[in-house]
Chain A
Amino acid sequence: MKYKILKALDIAGLAVLDPIVRLIYREEPSEQVRKIILFIGIPAFTFLCFMVLWAYIAPRHTTKSGEVPTPAVVWDSAKSVWVFHERENIKEDDFRVSGEERQKRIAMVSAELEKLKPQLAKVDALLTKAQEQAKAETDKAVAPIMAVFEETKAKYSADSTARKKALTDLAGTIKADDKSARSEYLKKVEAHLAQTDVEKGNLQQIKAQMDAVMNRKHQGLIEARLAKNRVAEKVQFYSKRLENLGDNNQQQKVLAAKESLDKEKEKFSQASGRALYFSALKIQRAEDRLGRIETSTYAKPWTFPAQIVRSLGCVFLGFVIATVIAVPIGILCGLSPVFMAAMTPLISLFKPVSPIVWLPIVFIIVGGFIDDPEQAPVHPAFLSSAITVALCSLWPTLVNTAFGVAAIDKDHLNVARVLRLGFWSRLFKIVIPSALPLIFAGLRISLGVGWMVLIAAELLSSSEGIGKFVWDMFNNGSSQTFAQMFVVVFVVGIIGLMLDRTMIVFQRLVSFDDAPTAI
């Protein structure tokens, strides 16, 4: 039993848990504890240090989009991303539901809304109070500064007028040939202007003080706003549900459309002459409408989890394309020096090209094949992202495959010669199996590259997915969306890690010599 578990862990690439299992079975406890500390304790500690450092540094840097979010803020925003997803799912479900279930839900949602009403009133009142209080506080703090400001301003303006008057008076007294008096005058005017600048500066300082007081954060007000937002969001959610369960509900709409169709048919059966013609037209239109309603879907916005799934689909498609291209070409390169020589310039030329360059080109080419993006079976943006992923990620597989095939053991080839195996059986029985570990090593690198490229490609092509999410969040520019970008970092990292782990497992399964793979 114990060895079965250990073996399973090993194959699943979870050798980290090995010492824990052994500890449970009381095998050399001290050794296992040492291993747990080394392989689990120390990494966990490092991660913890990182979190603490982050939590310390983040709030000390303020940006246009607010403070850099702390781990706690990021966690909260991850939760809100999830809540948004769940609510959208519920709304969509409401849109489709019919019959008794619909009635039940209407009752439930209405009750929920009733319950929320007093809450909303309460938070509203609290908010108003907080606003008033904040205003009072601000006014109180601003008033003395304001007084000083007004006073100073009046004084300065009087001073300035006096100075101007003195200068114009003086101008009248200067004689035509009195050069020294003229240069003296020039200096005086200069001094007057300098004085005016100083006064302006002083006034601005006072104004800045005032602004600071007005912009002061009122903790009470912030909290009241948050509380109000929470409740208001819920109210909005339930109201929307009620809509989707009521008039907006698909089944309801279908029923209404059917009813009007029936009425038209009734009229049709009795109409005659010109009216018959119009009635027939109406029936046609009503039938069209019914068909449209029946096939309509709820216009659900993209949620982050849905975008993640789509990104995974996109990277998978790209990866499959890359594999289908890279493995056969790699095998040909490995088998034939001539083919390798022919391919080398192309490979060396295209390998370093960045996805940012590929994408627009691919986008235009794909667009040439697809006239109406909304009608196409795959969205062109999705397809171009996948192809870009393929173009950037096929190289490691290609090179590794070529290497694996070219490095095949000469003895093995000799055996094939003695057996006089044909081309195909040599290929499938000897060449490919012996190159398989290296091919999979290449595939693993390719998948990693593809996942990195994908986010950039989606961002650029606006294909719905993680990249698009980041771009939308960036353009939104609020502190909430700023935190959601941090959520993306972790999501992308964790998924990348899992993809890599999966590939390691596959790599282990095909490696016949049981060589340990790098982690």
Chain B
Amino acid sequence: MSNNLQDKYVEIVNLVKAYPNPFGEDIRVVDGFDLRIKQGEMIGILGHSGCGKSTVLTMVAGLNAISGGNVIVAGKEIDGAGPDRSVVFQSPCLFPWMTALGNVMLGVKRVYPHASKKERKELAEYYLNQVGLADAMHKYPREMSGGMQQRVGIARAIALKPKMLLLDEPFGRLDSLTRMELQDVIIDILNENKVTTLLVTHDVDEAIYMCDRIVTMTNGPHARVGRINEMPFERPRIRQEVLDHPEYYNIRGSLIQYLEDLEHEKEKQGQEKPPVEEETFNDQDDLPKTPKDKTEKSELVFML
């Protein structure tokens, strides 16, 4: 692989997403998102709630139609969703009628169609082992805690041997202890074999700890890349070392400052959103969250 391709392993060029508003006019929620990602790099995406982070991620995943621009992965423009870009969402979305092993096997079967059943099982077991679920392979999702379910979700994503791993607030619903454990699980896996990763998060510390570069998006509509920060920490990462790093608090402060500035700008523009910094930044944790859109259920049925 040429050096050039390694540096531009993933190219997101002038990405646009437009949704029609109630009056039928197209509103460009994301407008001109541009980013180049090196192979094996881990990118964090920060931004205020509703700015369009998930929109960008689902477009890269191929789950959301692209209104304009391109996404090129390993030199090829993407065409719909595929196992080369595996996704982990905030909710684990495991299939409740399958065991942990069954859920992972489904993906393994897809990626290794010619392997024997035994080989596939061994592979699935290997990945479940990696996320620390050696003892819970035969449990059903209903018998597992949220953290365990998310581990299965991670194992399922990794087992696809993806070119790219897309994580949309994967720890958003977990308590802070479990969240730290899972962060380390992912860090460990990525230390072993590097996968190009896009991590959408609300948690500034999480982004700093896990990512090589952090992309902060401007507020929507017309959200785009606002600023990119390079993280100076070495890999493999060790949490305490990162926390003790002299630059840590500077970077954190600067990121938060930038987010606050974005918010003020919005206020100046007279946007409808109320200021939210108070509750946002007094803790080390999260930006405010909007409840995740409920999945739309089909209305069809009510025709009957």
A412-B95, A419-B106, A512-B140 known; A344 and B304 CB under 8 Å?
yes
List B contacts of A347 (CB < 8 A).
Answer: 304
Interface residues of A in 273-291 (CB under 8 A from B): none
Q: Which of A406, A419, A434, A512 contacts B298 (CB 8 A)?
A: A406
List B contacts of A421 (CB < 8 A).
Answer: 110
A337-B300, A406-B297 known; A433 and B89 CB under 8 Å?
no
Interface residues of B in 254-302 (CB under 8 A from A): 295-298, 300-301
Q: How far apart are B275's CB and chain A's nearest CB, in angstroms? A: 33
List B contacts of A411 (CB < 8 A).
Answer: 89, 91, 93, 295
Q: Say which size band chain A's interface belongs to.
A: 20 to 34
Q: How far apart are A353's CB and chain B's nearest CB, in angstroms? A: 16
Bound-complex Cα distance A414 to B168 (A) = 14
Interface residues of B in 45-93 (CB under 8 A from A): 61-63, 80-83, 85-87, 89, 91, 93
List A contacts of B97 (CB < 8 A).
Answer: 433-434, 436, 512
The reply to whether A406 and B301 form a contact with Cβ atoms under 8 Å apart is yes
Q: Mark A420-443, 1 if CB is under 8 A from B, else 0.
A: 110000000110011010000000
Bound-complex Cα distance A321 to B82 (A) = 39
The reply to whether A407 and B297 form a contact with Cβ atoms under 8 Å apart is yes
The reply to whether B95 and A433 form a contact with Cβ atoms under 8 Å apart is yes
Q: How far apart are B117's CB and chain A's nearest CB, in angstroms? A: 15
List A contacts of B301 (CB < 8 A).
Answer: 334, 399, 402-403, 406-407
The reply to whether B300 and A414 form a contact with Cβ atoms under 8 Å apart is no
List A contacts of B61 (CB < 8 A).
Answer: 418
List B contacts of A436 (CB < 8 A).
Answer: 97
Is there a chain B Cβ closer than 8 Å to A217's Cβ? Answer: no
Is there a chain A Cβ closer than 8 Å to B107's Cβ? Answer: yes
Is there a chain B Cβ closer than 8 Å to A36's Cβ? Answer: no
The reply to whether A419 and B83 form a contact with Cβ atoms under 8 Å apart is yes
Is there a chain A Cβ closer than 8 Å to B245's Cβ? Answer: no
Q: Which of A334, A344, A418, A434 contacts B85 (CB 8 A)?
A: A418
List B contacts of A179 (CB < 8 A).
Answer: none
Bound-complex Cα distance A341 to B142 (A) = 36
Q: How far apart are A295's CB and chain B's nearest CB, in angstroms? A: 52
The reply to whether B86 and A418 form a contact with Cβ atoms under 8 Å apart is yes
The reply to whether B110 and A514 form a contact with Cβ atoms under 8 Å apart is no
Q: How far apart are B18's CB and chain A's nearest CB, in angstroms? A: 21
Bound-complex Cα distance A337 to B80 (A) = 22
Chain A, residue nearest B143 (CB):
A514
Q: Mark B82-116, 1 if CB is under 8 A from A, else 0.
A: 11011101010101110000000011001000000
Chain B, residue nearest A399 (CB):
B304
The reply to whether A409 and B93 form a contact with Cβ atoms under 8 Å apart is yes
Is there a chain A Cβ closer than 8 Å to B1's Cβ? Answer: no
Q: Which of A410, A412, A415 contacts B296 (CB 8 A)?
A: A410
Q: Which of A348, A433, A514 contacts B304 (CB 8 A)?
A: A348
Is there a chain A Cβ closer than 8 Å to B177's Cβ? Answer: no
B interface, over-half SS:
loop
The reply to whether B304 and A419 form a contact with Cβ atoms under 8 Å apart is no
Interface centre among B96, B142, B300, B303 (most CB of A within 10 A): B300
Q: Mark A338-372, 1 if CB is under 8 A from B, else 0.
A: 00110010011000000000000000000000000
The reply to whether A419 and B63 form a contact with Cβ atoms under 8 Å apart is no
The reply to whether B295 and A410 form a contact with Cβ atoms under 8 Å apart is yes
Is there a chain B Cβ closer than 8 Å to A28's Cβ? Answer: no
Is there a chain B Cβ closer than 8 Å to A417's Cβ? Answer: yes
The reply to whether A417 and B63 form a contact with Cβ atoms under 8 Å apart is yes
Bound-complex Cα distance A403 to B82 (A) = 28
List A contacts of B304 (CB < 8 A).
Answer: 344, 347-348, 399, 402-403
List A contacts of B87 (CB < 8 A).
Answer: 414, 418
Bound-complex Cα distance A403 to B110 (A) = 28
Is there a chain B Cβ closer than 8 Å to A184's Cβ? Answer: no
Bound-complex Cα distance A334 to B298 (A) = 9
A348-B304, A420-B81 known; A414 and B107 CB under 8 Å?
no
List A contacts of B91 (CB < 8 A).
Answer: 411
Q: How far apart are B30's CB and chain A's nearest CB, in angstroms? A: 19
Q: Which of B81, B85, B96, B295 contacts A512 (CB 8 A)?
A: B96
Is there a chain B Cβ closer than 8 Å to A513's Cβ? Answer: yes
List A contacts of B93 (CB < 8 A).
Answer: 409, 411-412, 414-415
Bound-complex Cα distance A15 to B92 (A) = 33
List B contacts of A403 (CB < 8 A).
Answer: 301, 304
The reply to whether B89 and A419 form a contact with Cβ atoms under 8 Å apart is no
Bound-complex Cα distance A412 to B94 (A) = 7
Q: Which of B80, B89, B303 contacts A344 (CB 8 A)?
A: B303
List A contacts of B142 (CB < 8 A).
Answer: 512-514
List B contacts of A410 (CB < 8 A).
Answer: 295-296
Bound-complex Cα distance A175 to B140 (A) = 118
The reply to whether B95 and A414 form a contact with Cβ atoms under 8 Å apart is no
List B contacts of A334 (CB < 8 A).
Answer: 298, 300-301
Interface residues of A in 296-332 (CB under 8 A from B): none
List B contacts of A434 (CB < 8 A).
Answer: 95-97
Chain B, residue nearest A343 (CB):
B304
A344-B304, A347-B304 known; A418 and B96 CB under 8 Å?
no
Q: How far apart are A6's CB and chain B's nearest CB, in angstroms? A: 18
List B contacts of A418 (CB < 8 A).
Answer: 61-63, 81-83, 85-87, 160
Interface centre among B62, B81, B91, B142 (most CB of A within 10 A): B81
Chain B, residue nearest A406 (CB):
B298
Q: How far apart are B213's CB and chain A's nearest CB, in angstroms? A: 25
Bound-complex Cα distance A334 to B80 (A) = 23
List A contacts of B81 (CB < 8 A).
Answer: 414, 417-418, 420
Interface residues of A in 114-167 (CB under 8 A from B): none
Interface residues of A in 17-71 (CB under 8 A from B): none
Bound-complex Cα distance A410 to B58 (A) = 13
Question: Chain A residues in contact with chain B, CB under 8 A?
Answer: 333-334, 337, 340-341, 344, 347-348, 399, 402-403, 406-407, 409-412, 414-415, 417-421, 429-430, 433-434, 436, 512-514
> Which are the 6 A-B pairs with shortest beta-carbon distances?
A411-B93, A406-B298, A410-B295, A417-B81, A512-B96, A433-B97
26 CB-based A-B contacts, threshold 8 Å: A334-B300, A337-B300, A340-B303, A341-B303, A347-B304, A399-B301, A406-B298, A406-B301, A407-B298, A409-B93, A409-B295, A414-B81, A415-B93, A417-B81, A418-B61, A418-B86, A418-B160, A419-B110, A421-B110, A429-B95, A430-B95, A434-B95, A436-B97, A512-B97, A513-B96, A514-B142
**Given A334-B298, A412-B93, A417-B80: 15 more A-B contacts, CB < 8 Å:** A333-B300, A341-B303, A403-B301, A407-B298, A410-B296, A411-B89, A411-B91, A417-B62, A417-B63, A418-B62, A418-B86, A418-B87, A420-B110, A429-B95, A434-B95
